[in-house]
A and B are shown apart, each in its own frame.
Chain A
Amino acid sequence: MNMREETLIPKIGVITDVRQDTPDIKTFRVVTPDGKKAFDHRPGQCAMLSIPGVGEAMFSITSSPTHTEFMEFSI
């Protein structure tokens, strides 16, 4: 049972870069703990990002799907 994939349980992401794009937008580069892209995605898709204790919310994946090493979120 614990082996079963559960989409409601988040996975850990590691922020490897933070870029200040505009005065109120930052872009975060996220990879898995072992340095890979968390999952493949298609343009327009989103991810639920959470901060424990604060909650989770949906954010667009702003990097191109063609980047295979990482995922970025402009928030």
Chain B
Amino acid sequence: MRKCSLSKIDLLFAEIAKTQSLYMPIDGADGRAVYSKWQAGKAWSSALNTVKSPKNFFFPHTEELANFKTAGKTIEIIDVRAEAEDFVVFGVRACDAKSFDILDRVFLTDPVDSFYASRREHGVIITTACNRPTETCFCTTFGIDAAEPAGDISTWKTGGELYLKANTEKGEALLAALEGVTEAADDAAVRAEKENIRKIMKKLPLADVKADAFGGGKTKQYFDDPAWAALSESCLGCGTCTFVCPTCQCYDVKDFNTGRGIIRFRCWDSCMYSDFTLMAHGNNRNSQKERFRQRFMQKLVYYPENNDGIFGCVGCGRCLAKCPISMNIVKVMKTLGGKN
């Protein structure tokens, strides 16, 4: 365990930033935290979390896949991939850290997505425990411990100090490079803070939300539940939930003609959209009820079925805070699972 005084944290950041880009939640002009590149003079935000999740570092909103040049009947494919540069994402919460595992299972299993893989290899994740979880948090429902976030290095803010612990080789290497700006520490204060956090988690209003009623093998049980109609009634199909969600991973592939060539890119897509997976014959889900059902079945049933029981939700609470009509996965779970 190492530690660094919070009053000297800029030295720590500066040391990291010497050799690679450092990103962390920083308050924007409107006072809200956004993952931004750190520079001297910028302060690590004290906000609990950002609106847009850090999945953007590995699976960006928009990404160029390849370029094409056509001349008459010939096509030239230009591989525009470049090795990602080393970078560090600091201040990731336990929920978001878990989301990387969920995305890894999708992008890093055969066939490996080289775009995602390159970024994952070059990214070092430094997580931080949540001293003050809020009412929309329910990471414990999915077995995530806000007091013990994963990542290459885990950190805890307590008693004016930032404590750091490496969990992986990458983490150890980075921590070793930071020896000059950190001191050795024992973990007494950290253990106390963990207890504190776990106590708060138990008092949160959503602490008793359970995922036991869901999981693989339950498609038939929930697919035709009449409750879906009422749940999806006021869903706008806007896609906000998808875009703020740290685990949503669907994307659309499109071509854009610049006039001088063609760019093939991918961008985030949402299963809530009416043209999602549009096919020649039309669409397979023609009502908002079906699309709504799809999104939640994916997270609560289909994903765990294909991924050793791991759920596709990390309880970050962003959909609770951001849905324009206040619908969210907790309401779905309580309505459907409450019957069992």
Whether chain A touches chain B in the assembled complex (some CB pair under 8 Å)? yes
A positions within 8 Å CB-CB of B: 1-2, 4-12, 50, 52-58
Given A4-B114, A8-B115, A9-B66, A55-B79 contact (CB < 8 Å)? no
Q: List the 8 closest A-B pairs by CB distance, nearest first.
A: A52-B68, A1-B83, A52-B262, A6-B114, A7-B111, A4-B114, A53-B257, A53-B262
> Within residues 227 to 282 of chain B, which ones have a CB less than 8 A from any CB in chain A?
253-255, 257, 262, 264, 266, 279-280
Pairwise interchain contact B254-A1, C-beta atoms closer than 8 A: no
Given A1-B114, A4-B114, A52-B68, A9-B255 contact (CB < 8 Å)? no
Which of B66, B77, B280 is within 8 Å of A57, CB to CB?
Answer: B280
Bound complex: CA of A6 vs CA of B114, how far in Å? Answer: 6
Q: List 13 A-B contacts (CB under 8 A).
A: A1-B82, A2-B81, A6-B79, A6-B81, A7-B111, A9-B66, A9-B79, A52-B70, A53-B70, A55-B253, A55-B255, A57-B280, A58-B279
Bound complex: CA of A55 vs CA of B278, how far in Å? Answer: 13
| Residues of B close to A57: CB separation below 8 A | 279-280
Bound complex: CA of A39 vs CA of B118, how far in Å? Answer: 26
Pairwise interchain contact B111-A5, C-beta atoms closer than 8 A: yes
Pairwise interchain contact B65-A9, C-beta atoms closer than 8 A: yes
Bound complex: CA of A32 vs CA of B326, how far in Å? Answer: 52
The reply to whether the CB of B75 lies closer than 8 angstroms to some CB of chain A is yes
Pairwise interchain contact A10-B255, C-beta atoms closer than 8 A: no
From DSSP, what is the main secondary structure of chain A's interface residues?
A: loop
| Residues of A close to B264: CB separation below 8 A | 50, 52
The reply to whether the CB of B187 lies closer than 8 angstroms to some CB of chain A is no
Given A1-B83, A2-B79, A52-B70, A8-B65 contact (CB < 8 Å)? yes
CB distance from B10 to the nearest CB of A (A): 33
The reply to whether the CB of B113 lies closer than 8 angstroms to some CB of chain A is yes
| Residues of A close to B65: CB separation below 8 A | 8-9
CB distance from A48 to the nearest CB of B (A): 9
| Residues of A close to B81: CB separation below 8 A | 1-2, 6
Report the nearest B residue to A11, measured CB to CB.
Answer: B77
Bound complex: CA of A1 vs CA of B65, how far in Å? Answer: 14
Bound complex: CA of A54 vs CA of B112, how far in Å? Answer: 26
CB distance from B252 to the nearest CB of A (A): 10
Pairwise interchain contact A53-B255, C-beta atoms closer than 8 A: yes
Bound complex: CA of A9 vs CA of B280, how far in Å? Answer: 22
Bound complex: CA of A39 vs CA of B83, how far in Å? Answer: 27
Pairwise interchain contact B79-A8, C-beta atoms closer than 8 A: no
Pairwise interchain contact B113-A8, C-beta atoms closer than 8 A: yes
| Residues of B close to A1: CB separation below 8 A | 81-83, 114, 118
Pairwise interchain contact B266-A8, C-beta atoms closer than 8 A: yes
| Residues of B close to A7: CB separation below 8 A | 111
Bound complex: CA of A53 vs CA of B70, how far in Å? Answer: 9
CB distance from A32 to the nearest CB of B (A): 13
Pairwise interchain contact B114-A5, C-beta atoms closer than 8 A: yes
Question: Given known contacts A1-B82, A1-B83, what 5 new A-B pairs fall within 8 Å (CB)?
Answer: A1-B114, A8-B66, A52-B75, A53-B68, A58-B279
| Residues of B close to A54: CB separation below 8 A | 255
Bound complex: CA of A46 vs CA of B264, how far in Å? Answer: 21
| Residues of B close to A56: CB separation below 8 A | 253, 255
| Residues of A close to B280: CB separation below 8 A | 57
Given A2-B79, A52-B255, A54-B255, A10-B111 contact (CB < 8 Å)? no
> Within residues 66 to 84 of chain B, which ones have a CB less than 8 A from any CB in chain A?
66, 68, 70, 75, 77, 79, 81-83
